[in-house]
Amino acid sequence: MDGTTTAQTAANLVLLGPPGAGKGTQARKLEEGFGLIQLSTGDLLRAAVAAGTEAGKAAKAVMERGDLVSDDIVIAILRDRLGEPDCANGVIFDGFPRTAAQAEALDALMAEAGSSITSAISLEVDDAAMVDRISGRFTCAGCGEGYHDSFKQPAKDGVCDNCGSSEFNRRADDNAETVAQRLKAYHAQTAPLIAYYGERGVLKGVDAMAQIDTVSESLTAIVQEALA
């Protein structure tokens, strides 16, 4: 250490939290605000399923049950995407890592690239509210903007506020039964990562039962601090 401080040029964030905590919504906001890349293994896996790749074929039934896809498949998919040049400016990991093996693989991949995880943010929510949050959600097929039957309808019925598209998607696994299994998997396999990042001194907790914009302000402050 020579006593000088240099500003971080890239923030690499992990968003932790159960399904419905708002990881995707908040990642999209940070992407817009800071030019970071949202890297969602759920999105990458859904794309692999849609494309009918070997990984997609192996993942499909597991995802429909609400269980976790094997570490090997997920880490391979993540590694490929992380190797693309746009990730060098900073990444928001959304839904990854979900197991201790994935967290260790991520640390190794970041170290290989001469980088590290700057913050792991735990989005703290009540499980009981998650089933309602997830069951009613849908996204614009054109731009990915998120909506909800009860909490956030488009201003004009059936038309996306953001891009004007009239096509929307609902995820096959966003039903009450699968959500219960996804919450179980979260508590058994992913929640222990809160301690993992706590031990590494990069953990921040945020109350994610608050309004979307309030949560977003907290996350913005964390990223600003990481880049200072």
CB of 27 to ligand AMP, least distance (A): 10
Q: Residue 173 CB, nearest distance to ligand AMP (Å)?
A: 6
Catalytic hit among 65, 79, 152, 171: 171
> Least Å distance between CB 40 and ligand AMP?
6
Q: Would you state the structure tokens that stand for residue 123, as one six-digit string?
A: 């989005």
184 catalytic, yes or no? no
Q: In the annotation, is 79 catalytic?
A: no
Could you give the CA distance from residue 137 to residue 134 in angstroms, rounded to a whole number? 5
- Please identify which of the residues 60, 98, 184, 200 carries the catalytic annotation: 98
List of residues contacting ligand AMP (CB under 6 A)? 19, 41-42, 45, 62-63, 66-69, 74, 95-96, 98, 102, 173, 182
Nearer to ligand AMP, 177 or 217 (CB): 177
What does the alpha-carbon distance between residue 162 and residue 140 come to, in Å, rounded to a whole number?
A: 9
Least distance in angstroms from the C-beta of 226 to ligand AMP = 22
Nearer Cβ to ligand AMP, position 50 or 221? 50
Residue in 46, 133, 182, 204 annotated catalytic? 182
Question: What residue number has its CB nearest to ligand AMP?
Answer: 42
Nearer to ligand AMP, 98 or 204 (CB): 98
Nearest CA-CA partner of 105 in 127, 77, 132, 85: 77
| Interior angle at CA 186, CA 150 and CA 82, nearest 5 | 95
Q: Which one, 73 or 203, has the nearer CB to ligand AMP? A: 73
User: 23 an active-site residue?
Assistant: yes
Contact 147, 139 (CB under 8 A): yes
Q: What are the percentages of helix, strand and coil residues in the chain, rounded to 5? A: 50, 15, 35
Instruction: Identify the active-site residue in 23, 29, 46, 204.
Output: 23
DSSP 8-state code for residue 186: I
Sheet strands (E) in the chain:
13-16, 37-40, 91-94, 119-124, 137-140, 146-148, 168-169, 203-207
The catalytic residue positions are 23, 98, 137, 171, 182
